Structure 1
Amino acid sequence: MSQRSAHTADEAGAGQQDFVEVRLPAAGAYLSVLRTATAGLAARLDFTLDEIEDLRIAVDEACAMLLGQAVPGSVLSCVFHLVGDALQITVSAPTTDGHTPARDTFAWTVLSALAGEVDATVDENSVVSISLHKKRGGGPGAP
């Protein structure tokens, strides 16, 4: 687990932002680490208890989607970007089929309701990423 604080995006012209990256085995037994990190970082941004719990569940759900298709023995990566009053979380893992999760499922609907903005991408190496963006005070399903 590594934390890189005060990473400046000044080079990109976006000002200062903090981020934390957690890398762990792509196995369900380790998801409690990500739920704890999510809660701690959301609390740092003064999210309400309900917003924190929504994010914890959303991260868990996003990871569950990825773990179902993750390459056995691979690494799950979770990057938290703290920007102003918002938290952007990107969970990634190399997958066996290189397909993003279906957006017409109950799981995707729940994820969108809990996290606000949700997106999924896949790169040329079949690494699937699910990104969540939640703004403090946005309410359920608000970005």
Structure 2
Amino acid sequence: MFEGTEDGSPEEIELRIAAVLTNLPIIRSLAASIAMRADFDLDSIADLRLAVDEACSTLITQGTPDAVLRCSFQVSADEIRFVVTVPSTSDTKPSSDSFGWRVLTTLTDHTATWVDGPSDDSADASSPHLVHIELAKRRVEGLPG
């Protein structure tokens, strides 16, 4: 069973990767490896893999040219929390009415999306917005692990 860090706080794993669809298998594989290491059951591993894929696919389509996805996994004893961020020229968050969003909410225990605008003290008014998707998958109750 996953124990977290020595002080009991969640472990954080971060990946920064070019925001291109051809990199999705790398991100999916990392999500599955993290879930396996945390002793999640096979169905939860598959759900997390698909949800991470959908979240990243959604943000890749909103990214600026040459954007980098920032993927962060926080792993605790009973949950894996995933946050993916991409710079975008749009201040529009992903639609909660889309099929992809319905997939995310079905496969995970928590979903959220938001956009951070360029900082007010930024000298460059054309600075990109940061679009975020956060999701969490909890360990299934009653299973050993």
SS at match of 2:47: helix
Amino acid at match of 1:42: A
Larger radius of gyration: 2
**Residue in structure 2 matched with residue 12 of structure 1 by the alignment:** none
Which one of 116, 127, 130 corresponds to residue 130 of structure 2?
127
2 CA distance for matches of 1:98 and 1:26?
18
Q: Structure 1 residue 124: deviation in Å?
A: 1.7
Percent pairwise identity:
38
Q: Structure 1 residue 7: deviation in Å?
A: 8.7
Which one of 7, 14, 23 corresponds to residue 21 of structure 1?
14
Deviations 1:103-137 (A, max 9, x none): 01111111110122100011123100100011010
Amino acid at match of 2:73: F
* RCO comparison, higher one (Cα < 8 Å, 6+): 2
- 5+ residue gaps, structure 1: 9-14, 139-143
- 5+ residue gaps, structure 2: 119-128
The 4+ residue runs of structure 1 with deviation greater than 4 A are: none
1:79 aligns with 2:72: yes
Which one of 83, 96, 108 corresponds to residue 90 of structure 1?
83
SS at match of 2:62: coil
Q: Structure 1 residue 96: deviation in Å?
A: 2.0
| Aligned-CA RMSD value | 1.6
Change (3 A) 1:77 1:7: farther
2 CA distance for matches of 1:6 and 1:95?
34
TM-score w.r.t. the length of structure 1 is 0.84
**Residue in structure 2 matched with residue 11 of structure 1 by the alignment:** none
1 CA distance for matches of 2:16 and 2:39?
25
**Paired residue total:** 128
Aligned 1:50-89 pairs, distance under 5 A:
50-89=43-82
Amino acid at match of 1:122: V
TM-score w.r.t. the length of structure 2 is 0.83
Q: Is the 8 A contact 1:7 1:18 kept in 2?
A: no
